[in-house]
Chains A and B, each alone.
Chain A
Amino acid sequence: MPRLSLGGRLALLFAACTAAVSLSAGLLFSHASERHFVELDQQLLSARLSQLRAHLADVDSRAALDDHLPALRGELSHQSDLALRIRGNDGTLWFDSRAGLPQEPRQPGLATLHSDGMDYRSLCQALPNAQITLFLDITHHQHFLQRMQQLIWLTVGLCALATALLGAWAARRGLRPLRQMGAVAASVNARSLTTRLPVAQLPEELAELGQTVNAMLQRLDDAFQRLSAFSADIAHELRTPLSNLLTHTQVTLTRPRSLEEYREALHGNLEELQHMAQMVNDMLFLAKADHGLLMPSRQALDLATETDALLEYYAPLAEDAGITLLRRGEAQTAGDRHMLRRALSNLLDNALRFTPPGGTIEVTLSPGLHIEIANTGPAIAAQALPRLFDRFYREDPMRHEGSSEHAGLGLAITRSIVLAHGGGIQARCEGGWTRFVIDLPQTG
Chain B
Amino acid sequence: MKLLIVEDQAKTGQYLRQGLSEAGFATELAGDGETGQFLALTGDHDLLILDVMLPGRDGWQILQAVRQAGLDTPVLFLTARDAVEDRVHGLELGADDYLVKPFAFSELLARVRSLLRRGASPSQDTTLALADLRLDLIRRRAERAGSRIDLTAKEFALLELLLRRQGEVLPKSLIASQVWDMNFDSDTNVIEVAIRRLRLKIDDNHANKLIHTVRGMGYVLEERHD
List A residues at the B interface (Cβ < 8 Å).
267, 270-271, 274-278, 280-282, 284, 288, 293, 295, 309, 312-314, 316-317, 320, 338, 341-342, 345-346, 349, 352, 405-406
Contact = CB atoms under 8 A, between A and B. Distances in A.
Interface string B149-170: 0000010000000000000000
Contacts of A280: 102
Contact of B182 (A277, A345, A405): A345
Contacts of A317: 188-190, 193
Contact of A341 (B184, B187, B193, B197): B184
B216 A313 contact: no
A316 B187 contact: no
A341 B182 contact: yes
B124 to A, nearest CB: 29
A320 B197 CA distance: 10
B184 A342 contact: yes
Closest 4 CB pairs of A and B: A270-B216, A277-B102, A316-B193, A342-B184
B185 interface: yes
29 contacts: A267-B215, A270-B216, A271-B216, A274-B216, A276-B102, A277-B102, A277-B103, A278-B185, A278-B187, A280-B102, A281-B102, A293-B83, A295-B84, A309-B180, A313-B180, A313-B182, A314-B188, A316-B190, A316-B194, A317-B189, A317-B190, A338-B183, A341-B182, A341-B183, A341-B184, A345-B182, A349-B188, A352-B188, A405-B187
B181 interface: yes
Interface of B: 82-84, 100, 102-104, 154, 176, 180-190, 193-194, 197, 215-216
A312 B154 contact: yes
B177 to A, nearest CB: 10
A278 B183 CA distance: 14
Given A267-B216, A274-B216, A314-B190, A293 B84 contact: yes
Nearest to B155: A316
Contacts of A312: 154, 180
A210 B3 CA distance: 64
Given A293-B84, A314-B190, A342-B184, 20 more contacts: A267-B215, A274-B216, A277-B104, A278-B187, A281-B100, A281-B102, A281-B185, A309-B180, A312-B154, A313-B182, A316-B190, A317-B189, A317-B190, A317-B193, A320-B193, A338-B184, A341-B181, A345-B182, A345-B186, A346-B186
Contact of A313 (B84, B103, B190): B190
